[in-house]
């Protein structure tokens, strides 16, 4: 297929798939001529990608036109949409138009429908921070893509340690692969070489929920000392607390079906709802709204340039009440 549609927020996996396709079809001797890398944030470059995709390759191998941040499945201007529809039938069999975007294609758009009719589509979604089953599948899939073998215990240990951080997962797997050589990676190797940043981020949320502010601050300090990005910590906590809030609100409305709750809250594994119910039992939705408001203050302070430790302390201590 000359058209490829890659989407999803797993940037590391997307990048591996892109480079694998390029390596498969491009002749390295002709790469400077037959490989174009363009940015769809610029309408002129998006239009250029459509023009170049219609041009046959020179020399050996195929041509690849890579358009990162493709606009064709989101907010696509009418003029650009018309250019896309005109170009799709003109791409030669030895040419490849590779459209990449982090967001899921909007199925309502005419351009999305036109692309899905002719494109080879691959999705690269990251599992939610509370989706243990999804994180385990991410570990197994990444290991397979890197040609590495894992024991079941190693896969579980990596999922617990790394969570949904795909880039870090790939880095840790490469390190473990060098450490173990031709032998399967086992849980002992994971324990020896891999830390547990993602798990600790979730532990911060657990401590905040329980009102253990001192423990939460200590865990945050450990994360920051391990060079975990402060905004990533905020994003993890926001996702975790939003999940609690959704479950709390839906239960208050009388909804008991865990499948319905999971779908409404965006939780991939409905079994996770049972765990979350136990975690939030006896706590009103207002508690989670207050925590989200505190995280908003932390995020604002970080983006204004505050030192991360100060931003977290000020955000949580200023809003601490009798519950937390």
**Residue boundaries of the structural domains of the chain:** 3-123, 132-195, 198-318
pLDDT reading at 131 higher than 80: no
Question: Which CATH code for domain 198-318?
Answer: 1.20.272.10
Asked if 276 contacts 265 with a C-beta cutoff of 8 angstroms, the reply is no
Residue 220: CB partners within 8 Å, gap ≥ 6?
204, 233, 309, 312
In whole angstroms, what is the distance from residue 119 CA to residue 91 CA? 12
Q: What is the pLDDT of residues 158-211, one digit of tens each?
A: 988 887 888 889 989 999 999 999 999 999 999 888 865 555 677 888 899 888
Distance CA 100, CA 15 (A): 9
Determine the pLDDT at residue 57.
94
Q: How confident is the model at residue 240, as a pLDDT? A: 85
Question: Is the pLDDT at 324 greater than 60, yes or no?
Answer: no
Domain 132-195 class, CATH top level: mainly alpha
Task: Round the average pLDDT of the chain to a whole number and report it.
Answer: 88
Q: Residue 85 has what pLDDT?
A: 92
Query: Residue 278: pLDDT band by 50, 70, 90 thresholds?
Result: confident
Q: For residues 236 and 58, give the distance between their C-alpha atoms in angstroms, rounded to a whole number.
A: 47
Q: In what order do the strands lie in the sheet with 35-39?
A: 35-39, 63-68, 95-101, 3-7, 120-123
Structure tokens at 199: 């798990």
Mean pLDDT on 82-94: 93
Q: Which of 93-107, 133-147, 267-281 has the lowest mean pLDDT?
A: 267-281
Percentage of the chain surpassing pLDDT 90?
A: 54
For residue 96, is pLDDT > 50?
Answer: yes
Q: What is the pLDDT of residue 159?
A: 87
Q: Is 268's pLDDT higher than 80? A: no
Which pTM was predicted? Answer: 0.62
Residue 100 pLDDT > 80, yes or no?
A: yes
Is residue 322 over pLDDT 70? no
CA dihedral sign, ordered 148, 268, 281, 320: positive
Distance in Å from the first CA to the final CA of the chain:
56
The pLDDT of residue 212 is above 70: yes
CATH of domain 3-123: 3.40.50.300
pLDDT at 130: 65
pLDDT, position 272: 74
CB 219 within 8 A of CB 309: no
Q: At what angle do helices 152-162 and 166-180 cross, to 10 degrees?
A: 140
The share of the chain scoring above pLDDT 70, in percent, equals: 94
pLDDT at res. 293: 93
């Amino acid at each position: 297929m000359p058209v490829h549609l890659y989407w999803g927020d797993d940037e590391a996996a997307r990048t591996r798939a892109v480079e694998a396709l390029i390596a498969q079809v491009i002749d390295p001797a002709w790469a400077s001529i037959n490989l174009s890398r363009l940015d769809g944030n610029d309408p002129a470059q998006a239009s250029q990608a459509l023009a170049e995709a219609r041009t046959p390759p020179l020399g050996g191998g195929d041509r690849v036109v890579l358009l990162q941040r493709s606009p064709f499945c989101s907010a696509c201007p009418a003029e650009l949409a018309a250019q896309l529809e005109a170009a799709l039938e003109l791409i030669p069999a030895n040419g490849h138009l590779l459209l990449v975007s982090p967001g899921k294609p909007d199925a309502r758009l005419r351009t999305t429908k036109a692309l899905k009719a002719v494109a080879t589509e691959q999705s690269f979604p990251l599992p939610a921070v509370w989706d243990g089953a999804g994180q385990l599948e991410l570990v197994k899939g990444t290991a397979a893509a890197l040609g590495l073998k894992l024991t079941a215990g190693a896969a579980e240990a990596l999922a617990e340690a790394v969570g949904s951080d795909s880039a870090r997962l790939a880095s840790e797997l490469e390190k473990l692969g060098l450490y173990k050589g031709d032998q399967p990676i086992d849980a002992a190797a994971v324990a020896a070489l891999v830390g547990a940043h993602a798990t600790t981020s979730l532990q911060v949320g657990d401590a905040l929920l329980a009102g253990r502010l001192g423990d939460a601050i200590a865990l945050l300090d450990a994360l920051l000392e391990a060079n975990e990005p402060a905004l990533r910590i905020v994003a993890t906590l926001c996702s975790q607390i939003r999940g609690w809030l959704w479950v709390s609100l839906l239960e208050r409305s009388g909804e008991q079906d865990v499948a319905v709750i999971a779908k409404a809250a965006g939780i991939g594994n409905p079994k996770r709802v049972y765990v979350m119910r136990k975690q939030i039992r006896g706590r009103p939705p207002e508690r989670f709204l207050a925590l989200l408001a505190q995280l908003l203050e932390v995020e604002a302070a970080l983006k204004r340039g505050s030192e991360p430790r100060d931003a977290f302390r000020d955000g949580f201590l200023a809003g601490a009440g009798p519950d937390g």
